[in-house]
A and B are shown apart, each in its own frame.
Chain A
């Protein structure tokens, strides 16, 4: 740095790479998201069919969009309570009771956030002292490990295996139970595997958590999107509401990703701690999104149901298509992702995804974006429109036939 006093007034300093030295060490050391690199590459190419989207392919229901427009017309452009509009918290309370059978007090047990991402960030920052550990199943959502690191915690991914249906086993959790562990982050149904935690495992995991006095952070953003059996929240198990912060929102089931509306429900002291962080960093979630959220929660059930039926069919379609192409692949019970293995094809996740992108012009996400145990897998979303899924399957089928054992790949992907 040159002393500013040596320079004429108004001089603009050129960008200096040594500016990096100002970046906090824990931020500097944070790895770049694997998804980010892939995103930049895909963005630079034309004519790509993408199975890489982590959001619904359909737009938000019109009644919800119209409510946001009406709120704007009515001049609702100000701040709201830090906690979020009371009417919205009441709607969330009713919704959560319907969805997971647990009642939360709108006055002190619910915080409206800017998406589940902010809810998770607030929760981690509220509970972690520097150096405390957070357990979670891996492959995992991309923000878990960085979120813990940014809160000065230590992320402890528990690898899950394809052979075991990517189940988080209580035994594996118990093995990591030692002093210093503060919380268990549970994502069911999971991104990127679509796995739902088995009910018996859930009960055992709850017991281990209670015994070790852990906080549970339950990321249940895909709770509505289950195809064989209903979602069961760990918060609904006896004695667990008191130590669980349930994170949910409107992004996935209600197709409202861009509205950025989520919430945390949990014990009042934890919610109060999260409010401290939220009020000084975010202040409140955008009021237009909150108004739209009330409409979605009160009048959106039929639309959610129709999207769930559509996802179920598209899951069936993509799963059968990929297994026909000889990808070992579980048929997921929830969320909207397939997580097929590419081990039989002798390429790494990154190599396979890059070649598929460049040669077949189909974008998927390499499994390694979701942690080291994602090596050998791809994440393929079945949320895009059916026409895009058919096009992607057709392209993949032709590319697979041209590049791998021809006799093993069927003549069409259809």
Chain B
């Protein structure tokens, strides 16, 4: 890996870990100048390598009543385009929070969010299932989150280190 590429990769790791750090702190961590960090972040944002910065929230603690579901979707592939056209069409719905092409027993894994169970169910039956090319859907509602994007939910920090040790 070139020096530039490894700098970029390290910076991305740090931003993924915590995007709120100042460019001064990031520069100290990477052993460079804050201006270099700012320039590289600007480039990564412009090139859409960094798509967005988001917070990971414990919905239970935040008392958010959102309903989340994952849908297994089977599709008929299209000549020339495979699954792309239909997948992109599905991904554009605002109810869809994530959408992945999968190997195995179904083709798309679609993550949905809505304010009620009925809202999500209606979206699947009226919008998703009726799309030309969708042959079947299987809906699974999420009941509880234990880990979200690499972060354990609700776990106490386990740093019970002695304050001074040799």
A residues whose Cβ falls under 8 Å from a Cβ of B:
33, 35, 38-39, 42-43, 48, 50, 52-55, 57, 59, 141-143, 191, 257, 309, 313-314, 316-317, 320-321, 363, 365, 369, 384-386, 390, 414
- B29 in complex: contacting residue of A35, A54, A316, A385, CB < 8 Å: A316
Inter-chain contacts of B31 with A (CB < 8 A): 316, 320
* 17 intermolecular pairs with C-beta atoms under 8 Å apart: A39-B162, A39-B163, A39-B164, A42-B163, A43-B163, A53-B161, A53-B163, A59-B159, A142-B166, A257-B165, A313-B10, A313-B30, A316-B28, A317-B25, A317-B29, A384-B159, A390-B25
Inter-chain contacts of A390 with B (CB < 8 A): 25
Given the interface pairs A313-B10, A314-B29, A316-B30, the reply to whether A50 lies near B24 with Cβ below 8 Å is no
The answer to the question of B130 belonging to the interface, with a C-beta cut-off of 8 Å to chain A, is no
The answer to the question of B135 belonging to the interface, with a C-beta cut-off of 8 Å to chain A, is no
State the 10 A-B residue pairs at the shortest beta-carbon distance, nearest first: A52-B164, A50-B163, A54-B165, A39-B164, A313-B29, A320-B28, A316-B31, A317-B28, A142-B166, A42-B163
Q: How far is the CA of A414 from the CA of B26 in the complex (A)?
A: 10
Q: How far is the CA of A261 from the CA of B90 in the complex (A)?
A: 54
Please give me the residue from chain A that is nearest to B163 by CB atom: A50
Inter-chain contacts of B25 with A (CB < 8 A): 317, 390, 414
Q: Annotate B21-38 by CB proximity to A: 1 below 8 A, 0 otherwise.
A: 010110111110000000
Inter-chain contacts of B164 with A (CB < 8 A): 35, 38-39, 42, 50, 52-54, 363, 365
Contact A414 B22 (CB under 8 A): yes
Inter-chain contacts of A38 with B (CB < 8 A): 164
Extra A-B contacts (17), CB below 8 Å, given A43-B163, A317-B25: A50-B161, A53-B162, A53-B163, A54-B164, A54-B165, A59-B158, A59-B159, A143-B166, A257-B165, A314-B29, A316-B29, A317-B28, A320-B31, A365-B164, A384-B159, A390-B25, A414-B22
How many chain B residues touch A (Cβ–Cβ < 8 Å)?
20
The answer to the question of B14 belonging to the interface, with a C-beta cut-off of 8 Å to chain A, is yes
B residues whose Cβ falls under 8 Å from a Cβ of A:
10, 13-14, 18, 22, 24-25, 27-31, 158-159, 161-166
Report the minimal beta-carbon distance from A192 to chain B, rounded to whole angstroms. 9
Inter-chain contacts of B24 with A (CB < 8 A): 414
Q: How far is the CA of A59 from the CA of B10 in the complex (A)?
A: 22
Please give me the residue from chain B that is nearest to A52 by CB atom: B164
Contact B159 A57 (CB under 8 A): yes
Contact A52 B10 (CB under 8 A): no
Inter-chain contacts of A55 with B (CB < 8 A): 161, 165
- B163 in complex: contacting residue of A59, A143, A363, CB < 8 Å: A363
Inter-chain contacts of A141 with B (CB < 8 A): 166
Report the minimal beta-carbon distance from A74 to chain B, rounded to whole angstroms. 25
